[in-house]
Amino acid sequence: MLTNTLGFQRIQMQYILGLPTDHVESIDQFGTSEAISEIASTVEEIGYAGIFVTDHPAPSKSFLNAGGHHTLDPMVTLAAAATATKKIKLLTNLYILTYRNPFLTAKVVSSLDNLSAGRLILGIGAGYLEDEFLATGVDYENRGQLLNEYLEILGQAWTGNPISAKGQGYDAREIISLPIPSQKTGFSSPPIWVGGNSKNALERVVRFGEGWIPMATPKGMEKFVKTTAITDMAALEKRISILNEKWSKHGRKGKPFISIEPWDAGRFGSKNWEPQKYLERIQEMSEMGITHIPVMLSPIGKEYEATRVEFLDSVDEYAEIVQIKNS
């Protein structure tokens, strides 16, 4: 049995790397088409399962001052990555569906899924930043209901059949949305992974999706992100049990994909990084049914002084530790 550099047995897990495109202060290092292409192709060559990007189209000054961050447009960024790669998955983590007209979203998602030859995973969330809802003209208090409504519309639009629907800000009359997504074999096409910890989020997973993206909420963070707390592994295991029960009751086959990082062992390269605990957590998570680890190698909401070469060195070093290479 192969072991990693710390002596642990190789763990069967998929790793999805976060692109450092939130660091707009270093746009020349991480935000150009050349940079995105180089990072994405290197990640694919090493053996990561995919890459992901986040979504904050209109972050407020108060959010940024509290440790929030900017982003490039997620669909544009993943399109650049798609042209430089052939195999890795392309994940939005998370795309706030309710910020956009659902018919425009249906078009951009199906376009990217075709452009990437069926490699898109649409990670979606209800959102939690009221200032962004105000900026995008969307009803913040009604965001959960709107999200369900939009997910219904996407499913209908992606059939390629005429669809009529009327709601907040739209009145569609026999609209035909082509092309339909490239992926046609899953429960949702393209695959939808739902973010959030609440009961409503878990219901969306079994109703609309194939995967779940829970969020760890240390130090009372659940109040800021407006979701149910997951403060430790026991709380995470309880939510997974609830999800699996709902999954079975809905007659869903197999198990949902689940993506979350070992948050209490620190992030690679940070001062609180605990390598042994990190690997132990991955093993524990694998046994709990978690299938994917989102990997952030650059700090969130802080300036990042590394160059692209240094970032790619960390991508390679992390892969050595968790044994992504040749797995």
Write the pLDDT tens digit of every residue in 22-35. 999 999 999 999 99
pLDDT at 2: 36
Query: Please, which contacts does 175-180 make with residues 24 or more away whose CB atoms are closer than 8 Å?
Result: 175/103, 177/103, 177/106, 177/107, 177/110, 178/110, 179/110, 179/111, 179/114, 180/110
> What does the alpha-carbon distance between residue 91 and residue 75 come to, in Å, rounded to a whole number?
10
Predicted pLDDT of residue 10:
56
Contact 215, 196 (CB under 8 A): yes
32's tokens: 């150009």
Residue-level pLDDT at 1: 30
Region for 127 from its dihedrals, namely left if φ exceeds 0, alpha if ψ lies in -120 to 50, beta otherwise = left
Residue 136 and residue 57: Cα distance in Å, rounded? 9
Cβ(233)–Cβ(182) below 8 Å: no
- Domain architecture of the chain: domains with CATH: 14-322 (3.20.20.30)
- pLDDT digit string, tens, across residues 95-114: 999 999 999 999 999 999 99
